[in-house]
Structure 1
C-alpha cells in the first residue's frame, strides 16, 4: 500500500439512480484528492484478501481488485497465480466498502488469467469470479467500462485519476490522485535510466502518467489500483489498471484496459448470453469534460 497526501482538488458527482446490474453511473459524494477514508464512494474498489495459518500465526496478504460485473473482479494475474490453490479455494475473499465503515465480502470461486501471462508478461490481468449465488442484498455497482470503439481517451482527457486503497493508518482506506498523461516514450526513457526491471514485467499495452501534486513524492503505486476518468457527467470509466511501480511523482506505467475489453466481455459472459451483443459501456469519445 502507499502513503497518502492531503489536497484541495474536489471532484463532483451527479446523483443518478442505479441498480446492482448497472455500472456505477453516479454518486452524491464529494472527494478531495488524497485519503478519503472508509467511504462508500467507489464501491467497485476492493481488495482480494488471502489468509494463511502457520503454528497459530495468521498471515494476511492483499491485492487490489476492481468490480467489473456483479460477480467478477479484475485483478493482477501474477498476484492471483501466486495464491496456493488450497488457500484460494478456502481462505480467499473479495472485500469491498459499500458504505462508510461497512465491509462486504464474498468468497473467491475461480479465476482466469489472460493468455499473455503464460508467454509475455507477468503484469497483465486476471478475472476472478466471486461466489455470490446466495446473496440476496447486493450492495455494489460495477465500474463503468468504456466502449472498445473509443480512441485513446486517456490522451485527450484532462480528468485522469488513480484510486485504490492505502493502509497508512493501519486500516484500509481509500485514496485518489490526479494523474497527468505522458507519452509512452517518457516512461520508457525513465525506466531504462533508473534501471527498473522491464523484461517479463512490462505491460504489453500501457498508459504512462504521474501524480500532478508537488507533494506526491512519498507514495508508490500498488497492483490493482484503478486508472479512471470522469470526463463527462461525473461518471467514472475504467481506463487503466495499476501495477506496482516507482514513486507516484515519477513516470509510471498502468495497464491499458482497452485491448482487453473483448477478453473481459467473453470471460465474464454467461453461456446463455453468448448470442447477445456485449455491453461494454459508453463511448468516451462522445463525452465532454465537466
Structure 2
C-alpha cells in the first residue's frame, strides 16, 4: 500500500495575525420578543397594513433596480427569515447576497436589511421542489427593532382563528397585506381536488404539508409562494405554515407544515459556525466553515469570488518494474488544516484519474484529533485527514475560497 502525505494549511495569502484567536458574534436568539400583536381588535378579512405584522415582509432583488423581483419572507428569529426554496433558488447567485435586501413590517420604501447568507432544506430538489429556505439577515444593518413570529403552538383549539396572509403586488402602499380567515381541509379532499384540477404533480407536493381554504371567499384565486398560515394564540402570532404557489382563496391551498420543519430550523441556528461537508460525488467533496447558517451542496459563484489557496498534486503507484505499475488499489493521505481566523466559504476537494481511464478514484474526509479527542467547539483550528483510493495514477486538487476576519475585541487587544 502506498501512503503519501501532504500537509495543506488553508490560509488567506499575505494575511497574518500574531494572536491567532477570534471571537465570533453571538448566535441568533430564537424568538426574542416574538409574536408581537400590534392589532388591538378582531382581524378583518381583506386589506391590512403591514405595520400590524412586523415579522412579515419581502426580499427584494436586485435592490438597485427600478423594478426588482420580490419574494415573501417571514422572520422567525432575530436574524433568521423563512422563504420558499424554489423562489430563492431562481435568483442569480453571482451577487445575490450583495444585492438582496429584506424589508419587514413596512412598505418597500421602508428600512432595508442586508442578507448575509441563505440555505436550503436538505430535501429540496432531492425529494421535492416545494421546500423551505433560510435567510440569515444582518440586524446591525438597520436601526429597526425586529419582532419575529413565534413557533407553532403545541396545541390549539378549534375555536382559535387561523389566517392566511399574502402580499399584494403594489408594495409601495403600506396596506399591502391581504388577510383571509381559514379553515383546514382534510388531506384526502385536498388530494382529490388537485387530481381533478390536473395539478397533482408529485415533485410539487411538499414532504410535510397541510391544506386550508378561505370559506368566506366567493371564488378561487392563485396565491404566490410564501403566503403565511398563522394563528393568533395566547395574544401572540404563531406560524403554522408557509404556502406554495398555486390555488388559493376558496380553493384548497397547500402549505408547508412548519411544525414539522421547526427542528431543522433550530438545528441550523445551533449549527452556525460549525463546518459542513457535502458529498457531490465519490471523488468530489465540498467543505465549508463560516460564521453563518450551515450550507450544503455545490459552491455558488458568490462564494468563489476570492481564492485564498489552491494546490494540485499527482500521485503515482509504485512500479513493479521499469515499465509496469502496481495493479492493486493504493491509498494516499492528505492533511488539511482550517485556521481560526479565516471564513472558508467553499473548499473544493476533487480527485480524478490522471491517465484518463475509467477507474475513478474515491475521496473521503475525517476529522483528525490529538489522542482521538476532538474539542467540542469547531470554531478554532481544525485538522482533517483526506483519504484517496486510486489505481495507477491520480491527481488531487484543493481550492479554497473565503476571507480573513478581523474582530475588534478589547479582550484580545
Are 2:129 and 1:122 equivalent residues in the alignment? yes
Q: CA deviation at 1:26?
A: 2.8
The one of 215, 219, 243 aligned to 1:212: 215
Q: CA deviation at 1:133?
A: 3.2
| Partner residue, 1:139 | 145
What does 1:1-290 correspond to in 2, within 5 Å?
21-30=32-41, 31-37=43-49, 39-51=50-62, 58-98=66-106, 103-135=110-142, 137-146=143-152, 150=154, 153=156, 156=158, 158-167=160-169, 171=173, 173-215=176-218, 217=219, 219-230=221-232, 232-269=233-270, 271=272
Asked if the contact 2:152–2:258 (Cα under 8 Å) also holds between the matched residues in 1, the reply is no
Q: What is the aligned-residue RMSD (CA, Å)?
A: 2.8
Asked if the contact 1:241–1:254 (Cα under 8 Å) also holds between the matched residues in 2, the reply is yes
Q: CA deviation at 1:171?
A: 4.0
Structure 1 spans left out of the alignment, 5+ residues = 1-19, 276-290
Structure in which a larger fraction of residues adopt strand: 2
Total equivalences in the alignment: 243
Structure 2 spans left out of the alignment, 5+ residues = 1-30, 275-375, 377-413
Structure in which a larger fraction of residues adopt helix: 1
Q: CA deviation at 1:32?
A: 1.6
Moved more, 261-270 or 240-249: 261-270
Asked if the contact 1:63–1:79 (Cα under 8 Å) also holds between the matched residues in 2, the reply is yes
Cα distance per residue 1:142-189 (max 9 Å; x no partner): 001125xx36x5x84541110131126874611110011111111100
In structure 1, distance between residues paired with 2:202 and 2:222: 20
Per the alignment, do residues 166 and 178 of structure 1 end up closer, same or farther by CA in structure 2, a change over 3 Å counting? same
In structure 1, distance between residues paired with 2:66 and 2:46: 31
Q: CA deviation at 1:101?
A: 9.0
